Structure 1
């Protein structure tokens, strides 16, 4: 599936790669934060020692930055998009709409949802854009 990026998103991606040395393939731009999809295996480069690299990037862009590590399979992708929540299992339903049903530890349900639903919404948007999943539901 082809992802269309806004001019702002493309600029943030370029700046992110320049600042961190990590590869990112997608960027969701919100008023107060960015959600970047980092290439598999580049997460440690993006974060840097003790989190210094990502903190420096956040300071320069003046926004909070959330990182999601890319994955090849839809189930692994959804699990990564909801991190750091402890995901027990992901099932993709193919009947009608394509829906990812996610079992999350009860203690991590709030983490998966996020403040005002922002984490689950970002996971839904990224899953739709990269794996054609229509919805992500917590069970």
Structure 2
């Protein structure tokens, strides 16, 4: 289970106060705070014309993404694609213990990031939520 530090706890409380939607999951990816909510509540969390997202981003001084919570292995492709957007990858293969992303040269470089920071972040996310290892080919 994921441990939540004080900063993430504050972000979760702010998110709930503004959107009136309770969530237990948020994390950082590429200097963006990503909140996970149930799929049916995503549009309510975003708010009319993105009002809630803009307000939270303004208060935190960071970019915000609201992503539907994945329902098992069948949602891995959509979950990863939503998080790493606008980076595109060619394919995704899920085995028993691994998630293998195949990407072109530039996409691969963008997924890995400078000093492998993005790679470490996405590996941590996949390990926490799916208990699988990430490989980029």
TM-score (normalised: structure 2): 0.72
Cα offset, 1:138, TM superposition: 4.1
- 1:33-52 matches, within 5 Å, as 33-52=32-51
Residue of structure 2 equivalent to 1:109? 107
Give, in whole Å, the separation in 1 of the partners of 2:100 and 2:129. 17
Residue of structure 2 equivalent to 1:56? 55
> Structure 1 residues 87 and 32, CA, compared in 2 at 3 Å: closer, same or farther?
closer
Cα offset, 1:90, TM superposition: 3.2
Residue of structure 2 equivalent to 1:91? 93
How big is the alpha-carbon RMSD for the aligned residues of Structure 1 and Structure 2? 3.2
Cα offset, 1:120, TM superposition: 5.2
1:31-87 per-residue CA deviation (whole Å, 9 max, x = no partner) reads: 943222222322212212222210111001121123332111224134213214566
> Structure 1 residues 6 and 75, CA, compared in 2 at 3 Å: closer, same or farther?
same
Residue of structure 2 equivalent to 1:28? 27
> Structure 1 residues 121 and 90, CA, compared in 2 at 3 Å: closer, same or farther?
same
Give, in whole Å, the separation in 2 of the partners of 1:100 and 1:29. 20
The structure with the largest helix share of the pair is 2
Cα offset, 1:114, TM superposition: 8.1
- Tell whether the 8 Å contact from 2:15 to 2:21 is kept in structure 1 after alignment: yes
The number of residues matched between the two structures is: 133
TM-score (normalised: structure 1): 0.72
- For structure 2, the 5+ residue unaligned runs are none
Q: Which moved more, 1:60-69 or 1:30-39?
A: 30-39
